[in-house]
Amino acid sequence: MRTRLFSVAAVAILVTLVFSACTPSGAVQTVIVGGTPMVVTATPEVLNLTSPDPTTFTNVSYGDPETLDPALAYETAGGEVIGNVYETLIYYKGEAVDEFVPQLATDWTVSEDGQTYTFTMRDGVKFHEGGDMTASDAAYSWQRGILQGGGASPQWMMVSALLGLGYHDISEVVDASGALTDDPAALQAADPAALKAACESVTSGIVADDAAGTLTVTLAQPFAPFQSIIAQTWGSVMDKEWVMENGGWDGSCDTWQNYYGVLAENDPFTSIMNGTGPFKLDHWTPGEEVVLVRNDDYWRTEPAYEGGPSGPAALERVVLQNVEEWGTRFAMFQAGDADYVTVNPEHRTQVDPMVGTNCQFDLEANSYGACETIDPSQPYVRYIGQPGTTRTDVFFNFDVPNPDGNNPYLGSGKLDGNGIPSDFFADSHIRKGMNYCFDHDIFINDIYQGEAAQSTTLALAGMPGYDLAAPHYSLDLAKCEEEFKLADADHDGIPAGEDPDDVWETGFRMQIGYNQGNTTRQAVAEILASGLTAVNEKFLVETIGLPWPSFLGARRARTLPIFVLGWLEDYHDPHNWYQPYLVGDFGSYLRMPEELTAQYKELIEAAASETDPAARAEIYGQVNQLNYDNPAFIILSIGTSHWFVQPWVKGMVHNPVFAGTPLGYYYGMSEQ
C-alpha cells in the first residue's frame, strides 16, 4: 500500500541495514544509518515476548496531523487521533467495511424511499470536559462541518449526500458556478438572502429533537454509501456549547459565512479536543508526538457486537511518535521501545528474518486466520495478505500558479532546459509520455516484492468499473519518446520532434514532490525520473521531500506541478475513487480544463445515482476510457498487507478503512 531493495542504480535506497546476527537474547545488530554504524542489542523483554510497559502502546511512524478538527481533518495522521478521541453515531462492526453497529446512537431507521434516516441518541454519554451529549450536539456538529466546508475538507461527501450529487461544497449552493469555493472573502460578500437560504437548506435537512432524543436527516436522493460516510471521523459529534465557547460557529444562519473555509492554521480546534471516546488528548507536540490517555469514565458498558470490547480501555496511554528516519524506527522496534513501527515496503526484508509468528489473511473468510509459529527464536508477529483499500499514485497539475515567476517547483518557469512552464502538463502527450516511462515491474517487484498488482482502473477489484482489460499504460520507452515528440509545449503548432525550440530538444528540469519520510513515494518519483532520463538525458527530474504539513500546504496552493500521494478510501464504493480523483479532492488540485471536468462530473454523477451494478459498470467504463485518453495521473498498484507488531500486543481490529496505521483504533487493544 515487497521487500527487495531496488535493482536499478537510479533508484537508490537511503538506508542500508547490515545484520551481524539474529540470535536470541542479547543479539547484536549493526544498523548503518546515513553511513554511520549504530549497534543495537535486543533486550531480553523482546525475546521473552512480554511488554516492558503493558500500560502504554507506542506507535512510531512519520507525519504530523494537519488538524484535530473532525470537520476539517482529511488526512490519516489526524484521522487516527480523531477516531480514538471523538465518536460517531454508528461505527464499523469489527473488521467489516460495510457493516455497522450503534455507537452514539442506539439504533436507526431508514425510510422506504431511502432518503430519511432517524437516529435514536444514546442517553448518559458525557464529553470529556463534562458536558452531556444530546441530539442537538450531533445536529450542530454535522451542520457546522458542512457550513465550514472548503476544498481542503472531507465535507464534499456530506454535502453531496444531503444537498445532491451535483454539489461538492456549500458555497455552490450560494453560487452554482463554484466561483466562491475556497474564497471566504467573496462568500462573505455574497447576497445575504442567498447565504441564509444556503444555511437553512442544511439546518432543515438535519433536525434534532432533544425531547424525543432523535436526530432526523433527510437526503436529497437515496445514497447507499451514506452510512459509510457518517461512520468516519467527519461524522464525529462535538460538544456544541464547547465549540461555541472556543471560537466555533455560533449556530446562527446569519453568521455561518464568517466561519467558512477555515484552514488548519487558523482553526481553533486544530490542537484542542473534547470528545466522548475511549481516549482523551493529553498533548500534541508538533513534529514529535501525540499522546492520548485513557478515558476512565468511558460510557460503554456492553459490547457493540459479539466479542467486541466494553468498559474503559485496557491501555492507559497511546503514544504516537513522529520519526521520519527508518533506521531510528527500526532500532526502537528492536529495543522494545516501540510496539509498532511503520515499515515501508522496501524495508521489509530487514524485518522478515526476525518474524516468529505469521498471520495469513484468509480471503474466503475475509479475516486473518489462525496465526502460525514459524520460528520460536524470533520475536515479531507479521500480518500478511489482506487486500489494500489504499493506493499511491502520481498526479499532474495542468495549470500551476506561478505568481511573479517565483514558484520554486517550476525551476526557471520556462521551457529552457532549467525548468518547465506553468502549463507544461496541459499537453496530453507529455502526460501520456510520463505514463509510458514509468516501470511498474520495478515498483511491484523491487519495492513490493511482488505483493501487489498494477491497477488498470481507479476502481478496486469487485467494484463496478473495475476491469482488468480496461485500456491502461505500461512501460514502453519507444512510446514514451513518441509522445514527447508529439508534444507542443511551446504552443507554436509544431510537434516537439520537429521543433528545435520545444521540449524534445530543450529538455526540462522539474521537481516531483512527496511527503518526507515516505521512502516508497520517494521511490516512485525516482523510478519515474529514471525512465525519463533513459529516454532523453535532457529530461532532468529532482525529487523533493517536504514535511507533511508543508506538503499538504503546497498541494492546497496548487504549486506542485507533479506529486506522489496516496488515497485511503473513505468508504468502499467506486464513487469514492472516481469522484475524489477526477472532480473532488484530488481533482480540484489538478486544475483540469473545465470542459473535461464537466464530462467527468456528468458521468460520475450518473453512475452514483444508478442502482444497477451492471449499468454503473458501463458508465464507469466510459470514465475509464476518457481518463486513458486524457490521463490526469499515473495509476500505480494495489498492494496487500505486510506489517509487523510486537508479540505482546493483543486485541487488534484489522479494519482496512481505519485511518493511520494498520491498527488505527486502540480501544480493545492490550499488552501482556
pLDDT tens-digit readout, 156-203: 999 999 999 889 999 999 999 999 999 999 999 999 999 999 999 999
What's the pLDDT at 48? 60
Mean predicted confidence (pLDDT) in 546-562: 92
pTM for the full model? 0.79
pLDDT in tens, 223-256: 878 998 999 999 999 999 999 999 999 999 999 9
Asked whether the predicted pLDDT for residue 41 surpasses 60, the reply is no
Burial (Cβ within 10 Å: 0-12, 13-18, ≥19) of residue 207: middle
Cβ proximity of 310 and 324 under 8 Å: no
Closest CA to 287 of 517, 458, 451: 517
Cβ proximity of 368 and 361 under 8 Å: yes
Q: What's the start-to-end Cα distance of the chain, in Å? A: 29
At 519, is the secondary structure helix, strand, or coil? helix
Using alpha carbons, list the distances in angstroms from residue 364 to 96, 360, 630, 638.
13, 12, 37, 19
What is the H or E stretch that residue 509 is in?
strand 508-515
Residue 556's contacts (CB-CB under 8 Å, 6 or more residues apart) are: 151, 152, 263, 589
Mean predicted confidence (pLDDT) in 139-162: 95
Residue 375 confidence class, pLDDT cut points 50, 70, 90: very high
Mean predicted confidence (pLDDT) in 458-483: 94
pLDDT in tens, 399-435: 999 988 889 899 999 999 999 999 999 999 999 999 9
Residue 572 confidence class, pLDDT cut points 50, 70, 90: confident
Above pLDDT 70, what percent of the chain?
A: 93
Residue 15 confidence class, pLDDT cut points 50, 70, 90: very low
What's the pLDDT at 115? 93
pLDDT in tens, 622-644: 999 999 999 999 999 999 999 99
CA dist., res. 132 & res. 110, Å (int)? 26
Mean predicted confidence (pLDDT) in 97-101: 88
Residue 571 confidence class, pLDDT cut points 50, 70, 90: confident
Q: Which domains does the chain have, with CATH numbers?
A: 16-62+280-379+646-671 (3.40.190.10), 87-268 (3.90.76.10), 390-639 (3.10.105.10)
Residue 488's contacts (CB-CB under 8 Å, 6 or more residues apart) are: 427, 429, 494, 495, 496, 499, 502
Closest CA to 454 of 479, 434, 475: 475
What is the H or E stretch that residue 91 is in?
strand 90-92
> What is the rounded radius of gyration, in angstroms, for the C-alpha atoms of the chain?
25
Residue 452's contacts (CB-CB under 8 Å, 6 or more residues apart) are: 2, 443, 444, 637, 638, 639, 640
Asked whether the predicted pLDDT for residue 22 surpasses 60, the reply is no
Strand partners for 76 = none
Residue 2 confidence class, pLDDT cut points 50, 70, 90: very low
What's the pLDDT at 652? 93
Residue 30 confidence class, pLDDT cut points 50, 70, 90: very low
Asked whether the predicted pLDDT for residue 612 surpasses 60, the reply is yes
Asked whether the predicted pLDDT for residue 6 surpasses 60, the reply is no
Helix 519-535 vs helix 477-486: crossing angle, to nearest 10: 70
What is the H or E stretch that residue 193 is in?
helix 192-203
Average pLDDT of the chain to the nearest whole number: 90
